[in-house]
Chain A
Amino acid sequence: MTSSLAQASIACIYASMLALTVAMVAFAISFASGRRRQPATAVPELVAVGGGGSDLVDAHDPGQPGQPGQPGLTVEAGDPAMQPGRRSGNVGMSVTWLAFALLLVGVVLRGVWAHRVPWGNMYEFSITSALGILGVFLLLSLRRDLRWLGLFVTIPALLTLGLAVTVLYTEAAQLVPALKSYWLIIHVSAAVICAGAFTLAAATAGLALIRRRAERGEVQGFAARLPDALRLETMTYRIVAFSFPLWTFAVVAGAIWAENAWGRYWGWDPKETWAFITWVVYAAYLHARSTAGWRGSRASWIAIAGWIAFLINYFGVNIFINSLHSYAGV
């Protein structure tokens, strides 16, 4: 009975990986055959408003023909369904939703099987992080057209899941005593959402760097299919602005838990220190965004550095460094 639950969980996760692979291919086709976007100053951007008001993409276009008395109305160029790559982009989005649902079921079944929240070891952290990456992406996609970003989200999600099922897989049933606390739910859920958001922000920051470099010369090839660097940078900012308070909360919740478990709220344990470093780097990112000369590519680099600090904290500290937080179970 219990082992069949575990098998069902694994089956869901493999099915989710299969769906993600399909979505990734669809997004890749969509991206490769997609429209080339010239810098907004050169050609007025005509935006397909697919998923409702895509405020990020169409809100402040210098070339936008805003009509008096009809605020916010965007003018379409032709039939949006005819745009190249659109159909495969839609397939990608739908299949990503399917992958998310399958993964959600897989994570929940894992928890049901183990009779606890499914956050007891690195395998479980990883499948939940992949859920976080997809979740944040899909949530954002409800408000704006993000098909162009799909490829760069399905890749890290798939990599995370691949690592989880191969290297990190554990049969662990029960929690070690240190994890038996309701703070586990509070602390880890916040951290997992941040994992998703930071990954997304790193993706948009990386794309912004590519696009920014291309915009210095003639925009062609890969970069031509990306939105404006300015938009990518603003999107990065918004994702970080959303996740930074959440990360602060995750660190504070961890400190409260540490006080309750170990008798001090801050002890410079490697995990705590890397959480602090991640926090400081993202704080630097936010400061860079309001410093002249730092807002563009430099800020994007800092966003990527913050994500790397986060990854070091997750993989590096769990596996290679002796820490109070060594719950990897591998």
Chain B
Amino acid sequence: MTAIDPGQSPLPPLGTVGFARWAWRQLTSMRTALILLFLLAVASVPGTVLPQRGNDPIAVRTWIEDAPTTGPILDRLGFFEVYSSPWFSAVYLLLFISLIGCVIPRARHHWQAMRAAPPPAPRNLMRLPDAMTWQGPAGAVPQAAAYLRARRWRVVTGGTPASAESPATHWVAAEKGYLRETGNLVFHLALLLILLAVAVGGLLGWKGNVIVREGRGFANTLTQYDAWGGGRLVDPAGLPPFSFTLDSFAVDFERTGSQRGAPRSFAAEVTYRSEPAAQPQSAVIEVNHPLEVDGTKVFLVGHGYAPHFVVTDRTGTVVFDDDVPFLPQDGNFTSTGVVKVPDGQPQLGVQGLFLPTAALDDVRGPHSVFPAADDPAVFLSAWQGDLGLDGGAPQSVYSLDTAKMTQIGLEALRPGQSWELPGGQGRITFTGYVRWASFQIAHDPGKELALVGALLAIGGLMCSLFIQRRRIWVKVIDADADGDAGPEAMPAAGAPDAPTGARTTVVQVAGMTRTSTLDDLQAPALLEEMKALAEDLRSPGKEES
């Protein structure tokens, strides 16, 4: 063998194929996978620091408004939708390509290894760590083979006849723990399965959010949702035709101690029909207890108050009579909302604050001090002018565009109280309130697949981390190849199963693990197996049970 001098081997010119092969090898190397894993971890971080559109679109808007220079730049770079941004996708797609490129050759190799015979015993078995040897009767080879086969080792036997230099030897080679690599492959393929499940959910799944007031109903059609998003392959006209009515909403808060105000239970009592003609059924939807209808789940995700207002115009005609959902702004349900009365000249708009347990101080202004409606009040600010509804641009029902309006007054009302608007414009009455519950309604056809993938991943992981690929060799050397004195020298008393009589041999047992990450230390489990095997071989009278 000649040593290769690296300085003298000129690099062959890389053609297109050569470059592609080189690039593929780089991409599928463990080191690249390692770097991609780091990149994936790092790329995930910004989405936990910056608000994300998918979770909190309002916070994203506020963030961008507060940072007029960096906000739009970060937005363009996808920092408010990190997990669907091109750079995040690039990292995980590269990682999965690397994974595939790594798994396919390994699977091929593993397939061959599983069908291959364990390699024969090394020449000098005693060099292996923890090797054992003793003198004993012949017959250790078939006994060891039977013992190991019974314990589901893959076993081959062989031997070399006596020659001038060395005595005759017989050996058993056994291997076990193929499940380690199988588990490893299953784990990585299961990750692909999870990715597939996410893709299925993304294409075929949909979810929507809706606020339903007590006493009101909801039918599962697109127009009834406050927000709805669906995959590319979802037909929005073909949603399951169920409907439900929120009969009542019960909520309970902690009243004492440091956790005062923390929610203790929510329950939405509903009556639902799986289709318009179906029998109505009752159900209670709670956090952790969604309602499942027709493969779709209805989750309770939030709640709040909807104060009821009656507005009359200057002639006394009722122009508005409804309960208006107000959105909670803090843990004590200080809630904000808007009443828009377009049927009037000029139009009327009211910004309101609903306080379930009202308090007023100089620092915080009007605010709520407890989330239950113990002492409700509304603080109203009335505007008149143009609501801006005619422009055709979609408007939030929770905010008032006051650009073309003028403020006409402020007032605080308790339930039952009325406010005569300045200048005889009309009157606003705060009659009371109902509660509302917000529901997330979701359908994800990929979730079962994701669960299967996750369970396979855990199972594969456990196999690949806890099972060791290991080999055991037993070698039997004729101790006394040239004479007949041997047998009598060490009679194996009471060894009826020794087929060749009382011939003495040297038995050697050794083993090693074949796992890449555990080979720093000899595996204790293998040593135990070797000891058990040795004990079995040294007590020839004991039969396999």
Contacts and interface: CB of A to CB of B under 8 A. Distances in A.
Given A71-B527, A181-B288, A263-B207, A59 B521 contact: yes
Given A261-B287, A329-B259, A71 B461 contact: no
B264 interface: yes
Interface in A164-209: 170-174, 176-178, 180-181, 183
Interface in B434-460: 440-442, 444, 447, 450-451, 454-455, 457-458
Q: Which of B47, B254, B287, B442 has the most chain A CB within a 10 Å cutoff?
A: B287
B426 to A, nearest CB: 41
Contact of A68 (B38, B132, B450): B132
Interface stretch (A77-85, A128-136, A214-222, A277-285): A277-285
Interface string B517-532: 1101110100100110
Q: Which of A263, A290, A321 has the most chain B CB within a 10 Å cutoff?
A: A263
Contacts of A176: 262-264
A177 B37 contact: no
B291 to A, nearest CB: 11
A97 interface: no
Interface stretch (A10-18, A43-51, A154-162, A266-274): A266-274
Interface residues of B, number: 70
Given A255-B454, A259-B447, A281-B41, A177 B286 contact: yes
Q: Which of B454, B458, B521 has the most chain A CB within a 10 Å cutoff?
A: B521
B444 A264 contact: yes
Secondary structure at the A interface, as helix, strand, loop or mixed, is helix
B265 to A, nearest CB: 6
B48 A234 contact: no
A256 interface: yes
B444 A237 contact: no
B408 interface: no
A68 B462 CA distance: 35
Contact of A268 (B55, B254, B287, B442): B55
Interface stretch (A105-113, A145-153, A243-251): A243-251
A176 B262 CA distance: 7
Secondary structure at the B interface, as helix, strand, loop or mixed, is mixed
B83 A268 contact: yes
B524 A55 contact: yes
B31 interface: yes
A49 to B, nearest CB: 13
Q: Which of B48, B83, B301, B461 has the most chain A CB within a 10 Å cutoff?
A: B48
Contact of B41 (A237, A244, A284): A284
Nearest to B209: A263
Given A269-B55, A280-B44, A294 B454 contact: no
A72 B134 contact: no
A198 to B, nearest CB: 15
A275 to B, nearest CB: 10
Given A177-B266, A265-B450, A283 B286 contact: no
B290 A260 contact: yes
A127 B466 CA distance: 30
B288 A177 contact: yes
Given A59-B522, A171-B257, A244-B465, A284 B290 contact: no
What are the 7 A-B residue pairs with the smallest beta carbon separation, nearest first?
A55-B524, A284-B37, A270-B48, A263-B442, A263-B299, A177-B287, A60-B521
Interface of A: 53, 55-56, 59-60, 66, 68-69, 71-72, 170-174, 176-178, 180-181, 183, 230-231, 233-234, 237, 241-242, 244-245, 248-249, 252, 255-257, 259-270, 273-274, 276-277, 280-281, 283-284, 286-291, 294-295, 309, 317, 321-322, 329
13 contacts: A55-B524, A60-B522, A71-B534, A176-B262, A177-B288, A233-B520, A249-B458, A264-B444, A267-B54, A270-B48, A274-B48, A280-B37, A321-B48
Given A173-B259, A287-B34, 8 more contacts: A177-B263, A180-B287, A248-B454, A248-B458, A259-B447, A263-B207, A263-B301, A265-B447
